[in-house]
C-alpha cells in the first residue's frame, strides 16, 4: 500500500495552521551575480584570474547560504502545528 498519496499533493492544499512564513534571508544570499563579458581581444590570463576570483567568492557565499538554510530549517522545525 502506497502511503505517499494519502497526504496533500501541494503546499497550497495544506490547512492554514500548518503553514509557516519563512524569511527569504538565505535565498537573498544566493542572488545571481553579473558575469564579466570578455571579447576576442581580452587577455586570457586576466579573464581566467577574474573568473577564478568570482568562483572563489561564490564558493564562500554558497557555503554561507547552506549554513543559513540548515539553521533556518532547525529554527522552524515543528512550528507549523501550533
pLDDT at residue 14, rounded to an integer: 62
Cell 497526504 identifies what position? 7
| Residue 23, pLDDT score | 84
Alpha carbon separation from 56 to 46, 50, 75 (Å, rounded): 15, 10, 29
Q: What are the residues whose beta carbons fall under 8 Å from the beta carbon of 17, sequence distance 6 or more?
A: 80, 81, 82
Buried b (16+ CB within 10 A) or exposed e, 46-63: eeeeeeeeeeeeeeeeee
- 1 compared with 45, residue with greater pLDDT: 45
> Beta strands of 10-76 (E only): which ranges?
none
pLDDT reading at 68 higher than 90: yes
pLDDT digits (tens, 9 = 90+) for 3-62: 555 555 676 776 665 567 778 888 888 888 888 898 999 999 999 999 999 999 999 999
Q: Which contiguous run of DSSP H or E holds residue 59?
A: helix 44-76
Amino acid at each position: 500500500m502506497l502511503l505517499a498519496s494519502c497526504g496533500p499533493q501541494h503546499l497550497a492544499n495544506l490547512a492554514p495552521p500548518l503553514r509557516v512564513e519563512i524569511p527569504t534571508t538565505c535565498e537573498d544570499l544566493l542572488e545571481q551575480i553579473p558575469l564579466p563579458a570578455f571579447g576576442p581581444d581580452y587577455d586570457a590570463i586576466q579573464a581566467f584570474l577574474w573568473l577564478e576570483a568570482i568562483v572563489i567568492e561564490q564558493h564562500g557565499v554558497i557555503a554561507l547560504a547552506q549554513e543559513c538554510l540548515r539553521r533556518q530549517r532547525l529554527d522552524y522545525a515543528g512550528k507549523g502545528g501550533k
